[in-house]
């Protein structure tokens, strides 16, 4: 994540949505950079994929007004995002578990197992967007949701709205984050497609996402 007290923005790093690239673009304008979950301290409790609700609570404890900040998050077609997450999790495994079995075992909200050493990026990577950005009452805590598929159009608008300079190499970054090595379609059975349609209904409808052709 990235926080700027001067420019009054908070960027939340939703896993596998191009967030790493945007996070780096915002680094020169940020006062607070994230750390890994294990490196968090009282002085810097902001870890990489911390949720908006967690940040709101920290801001309150520190006497900061969460509502004064422009809050940004990225999203991505969940069919693509889940495949990307799956490949990252099992990238070093000699034999990966079947995608369908892994997908069925994931959670869209909650700790999802793994105990105290459970990776936060892995946990939040399986969240539905609505659960990641909402509070306990279902109220969405961010102001701007940017689709990875629309980076080319949305990122320049965001930097203009924040009154900061867009990196000159933006086109290169955009191409890198959208590159795919294999087809998403081949991962899914009819059963696993139904799981995604059910669990990620809100973002599929809100951003007009569908199964990749």
Nearest to 177 by CA among 27, 16, 51, 26: 16
Span 143-199, pLDDT tens digits: 999 999 999 999 999 999 999 999 887 765 555 444 556 789 999 999 999 999 999
CATH topology of domain 2-206: Rossmann fold (3.40.50)
User: pLDDT tens digit string along 13-53?
Assistant: 999 998 888 999 999 999 999 998 889 999 999 999 999 99
pTM of the predicted structure, to 2 decimals: 0.89
Structure confidence by residue, pLDDT tens digits, 91-132: 889 999 999 999 998 888 865 433 344 566 777 888 999 999
Residue whose pair of structure tokens reads 């969940």 in the numeric block: 78
């Amino acid at each position: 994540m990235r926080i700027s007290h001067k420019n009054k923005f908070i960027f939340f790093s939703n896993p596998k949505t191009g967030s790493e690239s945007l996070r780096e673009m915002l680094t020169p304008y940020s006062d607070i950079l994230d750390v890994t979950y294990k490196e968090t301290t009282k002085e810097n409790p902001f870890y990489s994929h911390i949720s908006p609700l967690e940040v709101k609570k920290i801001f309150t404890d520190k006497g900061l007004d969460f509502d004064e900040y422009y809050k940004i998050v990225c999203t991505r077609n969940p069919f693509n995002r889940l495949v990307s997450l799956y490949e990252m999790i099992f990238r070093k495994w000699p034999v990966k578990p079947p995608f369908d079995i892994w997908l069925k075992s994931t959670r869209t909200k909650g700790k999802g197992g793994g105990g105290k050493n459970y990776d936060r990026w892995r946990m939040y990577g399986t969240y539905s967007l609505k659960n990641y950005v909402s509070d306990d009452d279902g109220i969405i805590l961010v102001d701007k949701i940017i689709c990875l598929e629309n980076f080319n159009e949305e990122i320049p608008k965001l930097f203009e709205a924040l009154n900061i300079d867009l990196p000159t190499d933006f086109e290169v970054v955009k191409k890198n984050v959208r590159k795919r090595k294999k087809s998403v379609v081949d991962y899914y059975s009819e059963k696993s497609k139904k799981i995604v349609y059910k669990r990620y209904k809100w973002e599929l409808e809100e951003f007009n996402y569908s199964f990749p052709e």
